[in-house]
């Protein structure tokens, strides 16, 4: 099995870039499933079904690209406000998906992790999520982070509660609380911050996604609806990212 470095070098060569110009952690706000279905006079749930197929395809493309981490915004805290029939259909799809994707994750050495609150998810989804994470926990390839029942503000609330409990228990002193401490107490404290955030369907919002982690991420918005997003779309996003100069608050040398 090829290493991250080998895959990264091959991707860079194919795209005419250097390995340093390829994002290590990619985050995607997957938008447009409903619109995709409506444009074809199909039920919205069919758009979500096609979107799930795109998830698997793009995840495998990211594995081939040498991407180390892929975070997907799948279902937000706010999405519970959608019609009950749509939410129920989505939850059924998640349970199916988490079972169906296991062989693919294992064949490709991908580790699945969850971002969000387990409480509130239907029991079948919680169970299948736990089984899939358990089966893939020892995999050493790409990390696939599924943001399911997730909200950026909720994550910050949960992080604050964790820190407060540890301070009350005498584990943390006030002076121990810094940016690194906050990062460690997020849902996946060891997950690197995203280099590139992609949003599909031409929406110009963050939508309460990774509010702490994307402080210095590069943004890329495409008109492409998520079910139509493909490898060539990913190539285009990475080429756009490669043109950016990431200064992290400094200035370019010689400026």
Q: List the catalytic residues.
A: 31, 79
The enclosing H or E element of 237 equals helix 231-242
- Cβ(234)–Cβ(63) under 8 Å? no
- Distance of alpha carbon 245 from the chain centroid: 23
The enclosing H or E element of 150 equals strand 143-150
The DSSP call for residue 229 is: -
Q: What is the four-CA torsion angle of 170, 176, 178, 183, rounded to 10 degrees?
A: -60
Cα gap 2→203, rounded to integer Å: 36
- Cβ(146)–Cβ(209) under 8 Å? no
The enclosing H or E element of 104 equals helix 102-107
């Amino acid at each position: 099995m090829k290493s991250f470095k080998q895959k990264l070098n091959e991707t860079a060569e194919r795209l005419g870039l250097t390995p340093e110009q390829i994002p290590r952690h990619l985050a995607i706000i997957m938008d447009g499933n409903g619109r995709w279905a409506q444009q074809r006079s199909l039920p919205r749930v069919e758009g979500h079904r096609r979107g799930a197929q795109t998830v698997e395809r793009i995840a495998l493309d990211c594995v081939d690209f040498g991407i180390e981490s892929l975070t997907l915004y799948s279902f937000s805290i706010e999405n519970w406000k959608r019609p009950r029939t749509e939410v129920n259909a989505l939850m059924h799809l998640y349970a199916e998906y988490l079972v169906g994707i296991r062989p693919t994750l294992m064949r490709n050495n991908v580790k699945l992790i969850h971002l969000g609150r387990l409480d509130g998810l239907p029991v079948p989804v919680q169970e299948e999520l736990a089984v899939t994470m358990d089966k893939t926990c020892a995999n050493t390839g790409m990390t696939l982070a599924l943001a399911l029942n997730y909200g950026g503000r909720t994550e910050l609330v949960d992080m604050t509660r964790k820190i407060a409990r540890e301070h009350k228990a005498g584990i943390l002193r006030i002076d121990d609380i810094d940016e690194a401490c906050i990062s460690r107490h997020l849902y996946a404290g060891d997950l690197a911050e995203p280099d590139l955030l992609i949003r599909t369907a031409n929406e110009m919002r963050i939508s309460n996604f990774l509010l702490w982690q994307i402080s210095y991420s590069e943004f890329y918005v495409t008109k492409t609806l998520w079910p139509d997003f493909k490898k060539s779309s990913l190539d285009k996003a990475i080429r756009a990212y490669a043109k950016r100069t990431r200064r992290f608050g400094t200035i370019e040398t010689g400026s």
